[in-house]
Structure formats: structure tokens, C-alpha cells
């Protein structure tokens, strides 16, 4: 077992190259072992094992730096940088993060959980530290991000020392690695070739008349010839030296190429091709399913501990949207590289001509939807709350300002759990409520989500519906099914001692909290707000007796409770999430920690009433 000896990249360098292949197998086994019991991003990490080993073998870490884009492909990096002993705690509360985290290790430079950031971050480091080797590792999906292209454009312009490793797999932008390509790149990455090229350039520029003119002709000839064989002319035109594509699972070839390329100056791009899920057959066959996997049986690949099937908010949204689209041909659906995660895969299969996956380009998704709306369609844009942050300017300038007829379906709102600080969808209520013309709703359960989506499609305004990453709530209390009306809340329970005004996912827990308090002799009204914007001012102003409590699964600063307090101009006790970045852990555990369970809500109300 070689892995047991590896506590740092320095230990890795003591192994011979032929021993690294066995190490790669051990690293894969370790990743599969932990993810199968803890859940996590499997397919992408299995695909980058050899690349990670090769980078650490050739770089001088931690002085040299690797920036991962997105950081969910960094499991092998964690294992090889002294965290193997703690790897069983992956994505668990107080355990290792599923993404790079500088608080965990000096080998992690940034927290990278959103795609497209690696090249700009690495470029800043390269400009600041010209003598240090800086490497940005990006996937082909990242190339759809405008931020990634902005980084490439500026890196080529600044001419600083930066290596970008482009890893393509399912969405390969070039032919697979072959013998001709490998041979060409072996030649152009050799030190002797580059010394000869530099010497010729120096001779032409300084010693011969019209040398610079001759050099330009030679460069044009070289580029034209190279473009016939190597699919990297785009990057060459952006100012990069392009190498590839190489087989990303050939350790010896990767190390040989990296050793040569790392000695070169200026912007360089190494293109490798890998297989998602490499080394684990179920993940190779189903890379989308094993992109972010729940716990599974290693032998069969089947999910572990299946409980009675309860639908999620995402599934209800998906089914209802398809149903509405059957009767309304103007409905189109847009997502940013997350058709399965947002449930739009069902819409894609039913109406492929009305479905658009724009890649990792949330700003573009919203802008594109605005154009579709003006063209007569009814766009429904489904994006995770944490990723919708990237389209904030477009929601203000294109959607709100122009009062565009469209729907934002905000999935993963509130606590998301194990993905942690980069993915918690806790800011949307606060960052959306100040945008003029935007209507904001949140459903209490499945039937209300269906009603809200139907309502949103019927309106001619910009509307946002936010719902959590969770199964649907089950309640023993019969609930009315009142028709959705603009800006109207519903009174679910009458009481004299206090009033609880809850939004979305916190309505059912608030009802259960009221029942706990009723058994203690405390009578509480419970109001399902339904709308953050516009609020039901009439109903709120009719609350005359007792204190008012608001409950929301979002940050308190500027959120739902703040809106209610501003509306009433009287003290309101706000229950929600603090204005801090919330760590990773199971959703139920984190909700309990922050008092957003029936017991926690009841305790907060009980405590407040004692001093009221």
C-alpha cells in the first residue's frame, strides 16, 4: 500500500513513476469507499486522479499553487495533501469540506465552489508571484462560463506565467488523443525544441535585416500548419501556447509533458482528455447520476438505505411545469447546466424544442430569457439559489427594470446541507426583495407549489418562486387549499397570545410549533405569508394582540422578517438564519442548530413571551 506512506506531495516524489499507477488505484478505491458511505461528487473526482498525482509530482507544493475549477474535483488533492486520515469525515459537520478550503490546508489557496473562477484567480496570483508556478485546472463545462473566457482573454494579453490545464470528458471540444497528436505535442514540449525556437527568434529579431518580418511569416506558417493537426488554434489566438490533447489517464505521458511545459514562460494551455467515473463501472456508465451521489452500495452502485419514497419540491415543480406546457405552447424552460438537478430533464425529454441548457452561464440564461419573453414566449428559468447570485445584475437591469414577463424557479433555497458555504441558498430573499416589479413567492407544500407555478405562468410580470432542497413536508393537520391571489396571505390558525408569520418551508414547522405551545397553554395564530413581495399588509395590520414572530429559511438581515417589520413599523421577533456563512452538514442537523425546527421555533417563542 503506497497511499499509507503519503502525507504530503513531498512523500509522493519518493515513488517511482511505475509505482504511481498503483497509487492511482489506491486513491480511487479510497474515494469510492468514502463517497459510497458519505455521498459526494464521485464521477468527476475519479476522472482526475492521474492528473492530480502528476501535478503534485511535478510541482513544488505548497509554494507552487493549483486552483481547482470547480473545487468538487479536488478529492484526490485532499487525499495527497495530508488529509487522507480525515477523509472519512468528508462533507460531514465539522469534517472535511467537499471543496478546497484554506482553513483546512496550506495546499488549498481559495474556496472554489462556483465555476469559472479558477483562471481569473490564478491569473491574479501569477501577476503577483511571477516566479511561482501557478496552475488552473478547468473542465470543459467551465468553458461555457463568461468569466472563464474573460480570464483566458486577459491572461493572453498580460503574457504572465500561467498554466491552464483543460480537462475534457463528456463534452470534448476536440478529437480524442491519438498517436499523431501525442507525437506532435511530445516534440513541441521538449526543452531542446523550445531552446532551438527561442534561439531562432532571437537571431531573426536582433541579427538579420528584416528579421522581424521573416519571423511574422514563420509564425503565420507555423500556426496554419499546426491548425491542420492540433485543435488548439482558438487558444493560440488568445495568446496561449497550446499542448494537447493528451490522454489524461497516462501518468507517464502526463508527467513527461508537465515537466517540459512547466519550464516554459508565458500563458500555456495543456489539454487532456479523461473519462468521468474512471475505474468504477457504474460511474462510467452513469456519470450524471454519480456526479453528486448519495450513499450507495459499492458492489451494485445502487443507493443505500432506501426509505419510503417521498417526492421533493423539485419533482413537483418538474411535473407541474410539463403539465402546464401541454396546454401552453408559449412556455419554454431554461437552465444553466443543471437539467437533472433542477428537474428540467423531464421538460427536456417532453419538449426538446422548447428547452435550453445554456451551460454554466447564469447571467446569460436570464438575459436570454428576457429576449425570449419579448419575442412572445413565457420563459421559466430554473437555477439553484446560490448560482442565481451570479445573475443579479441581469435580474435588476433586464428583468426588473423592464418588467419582463418571466418566471424564476429558485431551487435549493435555504439550507442545502453537505455542499456547505458555497452552496447554501440563504441570501435570495434578501437580495431579491429590493428589486422593483419582482413578485416573490414561497410554497408551504406540494399543492401550494403547483398553485404558485400555475399562478406565475398566468401573470404578465416577473415572478420568482423559491423552494428548498428537501422532501415535501408531511403534516397531520388538515390545511386549506385557498386560491393564490396576488399579495394575499392565509390565516391557518387563530390564537390570542402571539402571531407567527411564516414563509415557505417554515410554515409547517411553525404550525407544529404552535401545537407544541398550545399544549402548554399558549395560543398562537399562524399565518402563511405566501408572498414576500408584495406582503399582505391588510392581514398583517389586523394583528392587534400579542407579539409577532416571523420565521424564514433565509438570512435575517434584509429578509422576510425585515420586510414585515418595515411594513408594520412595530417590533417583530425574527427567527431565521444569521448573517454568516454556514458550514456543511446534513440539512436536518443544520436546521436544528439554527432553531428552525418545530421545537426550536417553540423554544424561541416561549423564551420571548417570558420577557414580553
Instruction: Indicate whether 119 pLDDT > 80.
Output: yes
pLDDT band, very low/low/confident/very high, at 186 (cuts 50, 70, 90):
low
Residues 6+ apart with CB under 8 A from 124: none
Over the stretch 52-74, which tens digit does the pLDDT of each residue have? 999 999 999 999 999 999 888 99
pLDDT band, very low/low/confident/very high, at 610 (cuts 50, 70, 90):
confident
Run of H or E including 605 = helix 598-610
- Angle, CA of 533, 363 and 577, to the nearest 5°: 45
Between 184-193, 216-225, 236-245, 258-267, the lowest mean confidence (pLDDT) is in 184-193
pLDDT at 602: 98
Q: Are the C-beta atoms of 77 and 100 separated by less than 8 Å? A: yes
Q: Is beta strand 331-335 parallel, antiparallel or unpaired with respect to 267-273?
A: unpaired
pLDDT at 59: 97
Q: Are the C-beta atoms of 75 and 31 separated by less than 8 Å? A: yes
What domains are defined for the chain? Answer: 3-282 (3.40.50.970), 313-466 (3.40.50.970), 491-610 (3.40.50.920)
**Average pLDDT score, the chain:** 90
Q: Tell me the mean pLDDT in the region 506-526.
A: 97
Q: Tell me the mean pLDDT in the region 128-147.
A: 90
Ramachandran class of 483: left when φ > 0, alpha when ψ lies in -120 to 50, beta otherwise: beta
Q: Is beta strand 524-528 parallel, antiparallel or unpaired with respect to 498-502?
A: parallel
pTM of the model: 0.87
pLDDT band, very low/low/confident/very high, at 172 (cuts 50, 70, 90):
very low
pLDDT at 181: 47
pLDDT band, very low/low/confident/very high, at 210 (cuts 50, 70, 90):
low
Q: Supply φ then ψ for residue 198, to 5 degrees.
A: -65, -40
For residue 39, give the C-alpha cell: 455521498
Instruction: Indicate whether 541 pLDDT > 80.
Output: yes
Answer positive or negative: Cα dihedral of 211, 216, 217, 218. Answer: positive
Over the stretch 435-480, which tens digit does the pLDDT of each residue have? 999 999 999 999 999 999 999 999 999 999 999 999 998 887 778 8
User: How many whole angstroms separate alpha carbon 609 and alpha carbon 355?
Assistant: 52
Instruction: Indicate whether 545 pLDDT > 90.
Output: no
pLDDT band, very low/low/confident/very high, at 174 (cuts 50, 70, 90):
very low
By percentage, how much of the chain surpasses pLDDT 70? Answer: 89
pLDDT at 350: 97
Q: Supply φ then ψ for residue 558, to 5 degrees.
A: 75, 10
pLDDT band, very low/low/confident/very high, at 142 (cuts 50, 70, 90):
confident
- Point out the residues that are catalytic: 276, 362, 390
User: How many whole angstroms separate alpha carbon 132 and alpha carbon 165?
Assistant: 16
For residue 381, give the C-alpha cell: 428559468
Burial per residue of 323-361, b for 16 or more beta-carbon CB atoms within 10 angstroms, e otherwise: ebbeeeeebbbbbbbbbbbbbbbbbbeebeebbbbbbbb
Amino acid at each position: 500500500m503506497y497511499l499509507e506512506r503519503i502525507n504530503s506531495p513531498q512523500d509522493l516524489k519518493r515513488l517511482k513513476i511505475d509505482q504511481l499507477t498503483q497509487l492511482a488505484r489506491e486513491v480511487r478505491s479510497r474515494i469510492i469507499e468514502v463517497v459510497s458511505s458519505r455521498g459526494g461528487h464521485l464521477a468527476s473526482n475519479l476522472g482526475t486522479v492521474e492528473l492530480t498525482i502528476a501535478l503534485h509530482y511535478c510541482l513544488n507544493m505548497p509554494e507552487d499553487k493549483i486552483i481547482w475549477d470547480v473545487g468538487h474535483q479536488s478529492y484526490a488533492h485532499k487525499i495527497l495533501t495530508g488529509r487522507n486520515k480525515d477523509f472519512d469525515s468528508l462533507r460531514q459537520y465539522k469534517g472535511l469540506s467537499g471543496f478546497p478550503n484554506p482553513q483546512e490546508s496550506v495546499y488549498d489557496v481559495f474556496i472554489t465552489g462556483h465555476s469559472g473562477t479558477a483562471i481569473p484567480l490564478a491569473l491574479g496570483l501569477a501577476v503577483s508571484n511571477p516566479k511561482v508556478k501557478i496552475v488552473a485546472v478547468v473542465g470543459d463545462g467551465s468553458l461555457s462560463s463568461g468569466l472563464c473566457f474573460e480570464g483566458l482573454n486577459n491572461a493572453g494579453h498580460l503574457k504572465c506565467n500561467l498554466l491552464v490545464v483543460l480537462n475534457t470528458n463528456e463534452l470534448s471540444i476536440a478529437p480524442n488523443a491519438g498517436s499523431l497528436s501525442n507525437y506532435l505535442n511530445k516534440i513541441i514540449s521538449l526543452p531542446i525544441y523550445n531552446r532551438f525556437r527561442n534561439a531562432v527568434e532571437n537571431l531573426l529579431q536582433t541579427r538579420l535585416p528584416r528579421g522581424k518580418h521573416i519571423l511574422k511569416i514563420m509564425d503565420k506558417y507555423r500556426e496554419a500548419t499546426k491548425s491542420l493537426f492540433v485543435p488548439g488554434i482558438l487558444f493560440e489566438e488568445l495568446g496561449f501556447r497550446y499542448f494537447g490533447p493528451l490522454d489524461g489517464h497516462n501518468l507517464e505521458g502526463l508527467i513527461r509533458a508537465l515537466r517540459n511545459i512547466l519550464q516554459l514562460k508565458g500563458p500555456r494551455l495543456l489539454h487532456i482528455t479523461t473519462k468521468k467515473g474512471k475505474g468504477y463501472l457504474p460511474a462510467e456508465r452513469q456519470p450524471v447520476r454519480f456526479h453528486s451521489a448519495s450513499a450507495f452500495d459499492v458492489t451494485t452502485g445502487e443507493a443505500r438505505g432506501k426509505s419510503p419514497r417521498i417526492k421533493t419540491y423539485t419533482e413537483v415543480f418538474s411535473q407541474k411545469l410539463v403539465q402546464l406546457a401541454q396546454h401552453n405552447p408559449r412556455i419554454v424552460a431554461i437552465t444553466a447546466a443543471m437539467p437533472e438537478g433542477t428537474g428540467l430533464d423531464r421538460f427536456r425529454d417532453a419538449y426538446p424544442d422548447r428547452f435550453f441548457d445554456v451551460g454554466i452561464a447564469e447571467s446569460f440564461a436570464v438575459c436570454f430569457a428576457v429576449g425570449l419573453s419579448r419575442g412572445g414566449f413565457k420563459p421559466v428559468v430554473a437555477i439553484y439559489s446560490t448560482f442565481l447570485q451570479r445573475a443579479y445584475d441581469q435580474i435588476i437591469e433586464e428583468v426588473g427594470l423592464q418588467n419582463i414577463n418571466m418566471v424564476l424557479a429558485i431551487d435549493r433555497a435555504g439550507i442545502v446541507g453537505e455542499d456547505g458555504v458555497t452552496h447554501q441558498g440563504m441570501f435570495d430573499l434578501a437580495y431579491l426583495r429590493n428589486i422593483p416589479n419582482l413578485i416573490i413567492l414561497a410554497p408551504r407544500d406540494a399543492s401550494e407549489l403547483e398553485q404558485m407555478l400555475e399562478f406565475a405562468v398566468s401573470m404578465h410580470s416577473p415572478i420568482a418562486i423559491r423552494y428548498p432542497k428537501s422532501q415535501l413536508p408531511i403534516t397531520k393537520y388538515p390545511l386549506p387549499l385557498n386560491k393564490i391571489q396576488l399579495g394575499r396571505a392565509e390565516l391557518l390558525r387563530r390564537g390570542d397570545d402571539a402571531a407567527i408569520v411564516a414563509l415557505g418551508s417554515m410554515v409547517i414547522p411553525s404550525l407544529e410549533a404552535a401545537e407544541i405551545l398550545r399544549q402548554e397553554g399558549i395560543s398562537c395564530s399562524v399565518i402563511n405569508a405566501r408572498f414576500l413581495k408584495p406582503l399582505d399588509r391588510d392581514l398583517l395590520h389586523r394583528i392587534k394582540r400579542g407579539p409577532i414572530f416571523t420565521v424564514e429559511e433565509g438570512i435575517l438581515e434584509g429578509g422576510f422578517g425585515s420586510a414585515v417589520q418595515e411594513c408594520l413599523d412595530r417590533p417583530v421577533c425574527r427567527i431565521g438564519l444569521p448573517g454568516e456563512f454556514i458550514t456543511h452538514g446534513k440539512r436536518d442537523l443544520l436546521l436544528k442548530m439554527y432553531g428552525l425546527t418545530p421545537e426550536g421555533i417553540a423554544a424561541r417563542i416561549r423564551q420571548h413571551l417570558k420577557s414580553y
